[in-house]
Structure 1
């Protein structure tokens, strides 16, 4: 579904990504792991078109995205789940869910959204910016699923969440995968990543250093945690 070839990106003269190549197959959950500053979030922003200062090639289902701005990439089925949750000021939970357009052939109906996210159903008339951090994270995930996005770009969805909410995020990602949704996930919690993902790319100084399967992550979890500074 997603193919990235020789991707390099910079902020001014500071090079963040250096010739990154990776693939995410349809229906896969793939994580990017690495230290802060390794370029993980920048890679997601390049894919979404939010950081246009890059070279290389990004393809979605064989289509080169280079000439497309972010809103047109979203229309192709990219769903952006930012690390700041992206709640809409002044809109209720229900309005936030219904505002974005449908972008895929199989959008989640509101009944499924509320069944999967019961806390959002209970708070559906509340201002979205008044939700707790965990509820705002659930809203960010629910919003792109309701749109019918086929590839979710999730930036640190478990950051700052309680263990119970982390477990709920994992359940939701696994449910989305069962419905054919593909996920590219930035995640510092390697233990969590190994419970939801099929494969993992380790980024070191803007370069893909290794591709790891779950068995490798579990056997090397202590070393990875030490490397990541967690």
Structure 2
């Protein structure tokens, strides 16, 4: 197996005395792992930072073998390490990707979305500039791995207008009229999650994060992946303090 791709670094784990296993998000082949010889060296450690874009070469004798991976830096996000909020957001988005996607399956839409999210964080470190993009990325990821929400019509009436809630059980949208007697049990649906585009205000961002967080915690980040939720909570706490 020989594969060459421009990829996003998502996770890096120490392997042996000097090496590392990196998991990269590629445009056409999805999440791929590879062993980087000397991956913890002074030369390569700054290259293998989550969020960096690298030119990657994967080589293996068989598909079952962990590929040998060589990387060259294409674009560095190291400058964002001095921005605690931006660094935490990139760390969360890449860690979520690495922990939830099956390896070797194509997710081209997710690759584009992750690349766009990290670029938005880089362009505007304030969460007001990328908070809605993070919510939409989490929403897209839920759908891509089989836990998508149905925000197209009301679960009760099939109405397509005035959808302002989501059922925490079914993941379906609920209209204002249908949900008025149960609003304390429903999740708020900010308009941007149904229509795309930016959030109107901080309240929309917080509502969106609460909504996607509910389904990530219930359906995805369980068992060995549960500790990831703590990293997400730390990120949300930072956003709340600054909003």
Higher helix fraction (1 or 2): 2
> Computing the radius of gyration over CA atoms, which structure comes out larger, 1 or 2?
2
Same structural fold, with TM-score higher than 0.5 when normalized by the shorter chain: no
User: TM-score, normalised to structure 1's length?
Assistant: 0.30
